[in-house]
Amino acid sequence: MNILITGNMGYVGPGVAAHLREVFPEARLVGVDNGWFAHCLTSHNILPEIALDEQWFRDVRSLQVEDLKGFDAIVHLAAVSNDPMGNRFEAVTDTINRQASIRLAELAVDAGVRRFVFASSCSVYGVAEDGRARSEQDAVNPLTAYARSKIGTEEGLLQLKRNNLVTTSLRFATACGISDRLRLDLVLNDFVAAALATGTISVLSDGTPWRPLIHVKDMARAIEWALVREADENGDFLRINVGSDEWNYQVRDLAHAVARILGGIDVSINAEAPPDRRSYRVDFGLYRQRAPKHQPQETLDSTIAGLRDGLRAIKFSDPEFRQSNLIRLRVLERHLESQALAEDLRWRRKEIIPDGIAA
């Protein structure tokens, strides 16, 4: 099997590459990433990309049909990948996340690719005021540019003339857990980092919003499933929530779980905060039914302990971590400040690689 993984050099990608290498040892794995966060490694021993056969430093907006010929499957992770970045780069979020994703799937059809796995998000549910867990049959309510880009891509994939392209849109819960390119702009990861660096977790909301979570390792298991799942020959399209019912947590419960496992941590909850509208519980019944052998396996306690151990291993102690390279928006802002990236988030290569060196 020949598999192209886009956006493999981010937070989720390294675990996906390692997992696919383990379960498909004979596969040809190729990564394509523009490398925004390539330098943000948090495991210093081994470059995660050695799990691949090839790494391309390319922008998915520039891929052509010839690039995709010979691949059996595309795992499409490349994106402007969270709400703060989507708010800052609203137009580019639409261009990369929606337009380029639909174009990539069209090229995949033309190139004869047979599987397309899209990393969507449960954030499409946005707010679920009645507290009922949302299933794939429910109306969506995207509140942000990022969430709109994900649902817009799903609509495009649904309407696409897919021929034989079996397409799966995995609506992932919010990711968490240790990775070779760790991010601290995710709720659980932020709480563990704050606890280690400051001894305190300050919950900015009143702690009541619901957030479904999933470990990055369990995301990789789901991607494996989407690559092999049973499907109609004629370009079956499936959108499916990926996570587990037990991992629907309220934010305050996450804070208390971190405090319990790390010990000696103060938790402060902002009881006066206006309600955070982004609150939703998700029903993962369809995923349980369709993917019984690829269900999430991690536990919350071991995820927190894994983050603690991973952060200690890199001697993490920075109370200003929200300004650091462990926050994706900060990395992009620095690339823009140094003019390495243009506003459309493409590299200005001449500035990065002076002519003399490039030649």
Please report, as ranges, the residues that interact with ligand NAD according to CB under 6 A. Answer: 7, 9-13, 33-37, 59-61, 77-79, 81, 96, 119, 121, 172, 174-175, 183, 186, 328
Find the shortest distance in angstroms from Cβ 359 to ligand NAD.
Answer: 25
Find the shortest distance in angstroms from Cβ 263 to ligand NAD.
Answer: 27
Read off the tokens for 215: 């470990």
β-pair type (248-250, 210-215): antiparallel
Q: Which is nearer to ligand NAD, 79 or 107 (CB)?
A: 79
Q: Which is nearer to ligand NAD, 265 or 341 (CB)?
A: 341
Read off the tokens for 155: 């609509």
> What is the distance between the terminal CA atoms of the chain, rounded to a whole angstrom?
36
Q: Which is nearer to ligand NAD, 146 or 265 (CB)?
A: 146
Q: Which is nearer to ligand NAD, 37 or 191 (CB)?
A: 37
The residue behind tokens 């496992």 is 261
Find the shortest distance in angstroms from Cβ 55 to ligand NAD.
Answer: 11
Q: Which is nearer to ligand NAD, 233 or 337 (CB)?
A: 337
Helix axes 251-262, 300-313, angle to 10 degrees: 60
Q: Which is nearer to ligand NAD, 32 or 133 (CB)?
A: 32
Find the shortest distance in angstroms from Cβ 333 to ligand NAD.
Answer: 14
CB 327 within 8 A of CB 321: yes
Find the shortest distance in angstroms from Cβ 356 to ligand NAD.
Answer: 26
Residue nearest to ligand NAD (CB): 10
The beta strand positions in the chain, using DSSP E, are: 2-6, 28-33, 54-57, 73-76, 115-121, 166-172, 174-176, 200-203, 210-215, 237-242, 248-250, 266-269
Find the shortest distance in angstroms from Cβ 36 to ligand NAD.
Answer: 4
Residue 278 neighbours by CB under 8 Å, 6+ apart: 83, 123, 126, 127, 143, 144, 209
Query: Each residue of 110-149: b (16+ CB within 10 Å) or e?
Result: ebebbbbbbbbbbbbbbebeeeebbebeeebbbbbbbbbb
CB 181 within 8 A of CB 9: yes
Find the shortest distance in angstroms from Cβ 96 to ligand NAD.
Answer: 4
Q: Which is nearer to ligand NAD, 148 or 265 (CB)?
A: 148
